[in-house]
Amino acid sequence: MIRLFKVKEKQRELAEANGGKHVKKQSAGELRLHKDITELNLPKSCVIYFPKGKDNLKAFEVSIRPDEGYYTGGKFVFSFQISDFYPHEAPKVKCMTKVYHPNIDLEGNVCLNILREDWKPVLNINTIVYGLYHLFTDPNHEDPLNHDAAEVLRDKPKEFASNVRRAISGGYVGKTCFSRCK
């Protein structure tokens, strides 16, 4: 579980720093985001970090190191951008690591149903991270963004495994060059 600042204490500190002047209270979405991040219970192979500091909860990154499946041994970084309408609007998630994957295209767009049509306000950041982790342990060729990878996974799983290993190691798959992501 991640321990971040307590909301009321932070508001009190800000008020004191401003000479006792009233400081804008956090919105319901900000409070919910704070709660979601504070209550994260991630797999050991997933790490969250805040490149802009822990005071900016709306922009963070999650790295995933799958410990089973085709992508074992790789490290994949995702950026999260949270809108002002969270939790009524799903976070924008992008894969920062170029990866050979049926559900992630070469630009980093992610095909995960809970980030699109199946998003509901009862879902949270923890659910998304587990969904992303699941994409690496069980890629889905039936709902692809990278149609070539999906076709190889469906029709030639051994070749798919070889392509993934080559991409993770920093090699070419077809005409696409991948950087080492171990």
Gap between the terminal Cα atoms of the chain:
25
**Cβ distance 173 to 100 under 8 Å?**
yes
Q: Give the active site residue among 46, 95, 111, 181.
A: 111
Nearest-angstrom CA–CA distance, 147 and 67: 25
Active site residue 111: yes
Query: Length of the chain, please?
Result: 182
CA distance 147 to 153: 10
The answer to whether 65 and 45 have CB atoms below 8 angstroms apart is yes
State how far the Cα of 166 lies from the Cα of 179, in Å rounded to an integer.
10
Identify whether 87 is preceded by a cis peptide bond (ω within 30 of 0). Answer: yes
Q: Point out the residues that are catalytic.
A: 111
